[in-house]
Copies of this chain bind each other. A is one copy, B any other.
Amino acid sequence: MIIRMTAGASEADIDYVVRRMASLGFTTHLTRDGAVTVVGVIGDLRSFDPASVATLRGVEAVLPMGRAFWMASRDYRERDSVVTVRDCTVGGSEVAVMAGPCSVEGRDQLMKTAWAVRQAGARLLRGGAFKPRTSPYSFQGMAEAGLELLAEARQETGLPIVTEVMAPEQVGLVAQYADVLQVGTRNMQNFPLLHACGEAGMPVLLKRGMMATLEELLLSAEYIMSHGNHQVILCERGIRTFETATRNTLDINAVPVLKELTHLPVVVDPSHATGKSSLVPAVSRAAVAAGADGLLIEVHPEPSRAWSDGPQSLDLYQFESMMESLQPLARAVGRSL
């Protein structure tokens, strides 16, 4: 159960609620966001009547656990949130395309890609320096050298940088270079990492776990938000199902479902969701038509020579051609691109 205090609740009000719950044998756990405090209550609540606490001074609402995302919900904020990244916005009228290589492999590869995606209309540059790889024997990323190249690419092209962070102790380092911290699908429920991103105070792109429900995604966003950072962008990137024709199954339903439940921007990653470059344009069009606020697209100058994710990367020409096909679609749903 969580007890939401009103913005005007005094410390005495909060303290009274905490002591009241303690006297009934419950343990409490406080989370503060500016003027607002949320009291998490732990214990055997089956015979507890929420009404008995709902009327205490300073209590705004009492919610059952499980569906306990609040700052991420439309109840907390009715209007769409817009996350600003330098001169771009995610969640506004523009569909923000974030494009670039899966892994940063070197200066030439990165600069060539950065200029090409910018030219084609991408607004942010994505690229991995720390890479979560299933096998310990695979390329693990260029690490800080990769971050430096990304910063150089931003310097040259003006595109803000989206790059992944894999551990709490990396957040400080990555934050020095990145404009958006990416939390990958395997880390969606890495709670210490979410905590650290919450304290980083900069935009976070939170990818849905390949095995996570939408409710769990929103609760992970709530972790970041409850540590003070509301600049969260959600990303649907395909879920794991029985179908083997594609790498994952894009859950396109997730776009309108999330739009109903949350005010946070929602972007889609058709590269991971399909695993096959020939499918990326059609699925990107579907995402824009469904209402996505942005796309995350893997692009490589020579996909067949990519160190990771080659089969799902578009080459520079394919990316440009796809972007052209997206223009009339964005207009058809009242957006620009």
Contacts and interface: CB of A to CB of B under 8 A. Distances in A.
Nearest to A39: B137
B252 A283 contact: yes
Contact of A328 (B283, B304, B310, B332): B332
Interface string A38-74: 1010111010000000000000000001101100000
Given A211-B210, A252-B286, A256-B283, A29 B245 contact: no
Nearest to A274: B253
A136 B222 contact: yes
Contact of A137 (B31, B170, B190, B256): B31
Given A190-B190, A214-B243, A239-B249, A291 B287 contact: no
A216 B250 contact: no
A314 B306 CA distance: 45
- Count identical subunits in the complex: 4
A296 to B, nearest CB: 16
Q: What interface size band does chain A fall in?
A: 35 or more
A226 interface: yes
A229 to B, nearest CB: 12
Contact of A138 (B65, B140, B189, B257): B65
B245 A242 contact: no
Given A29-B139, A243-B251, 11 more contacts: A27-B139, A186-B190, A215-B245, A240-B242, A241-B241, A253-B279, A253-B283, A256-B282, A286-B286, A286-B287, A328-B331
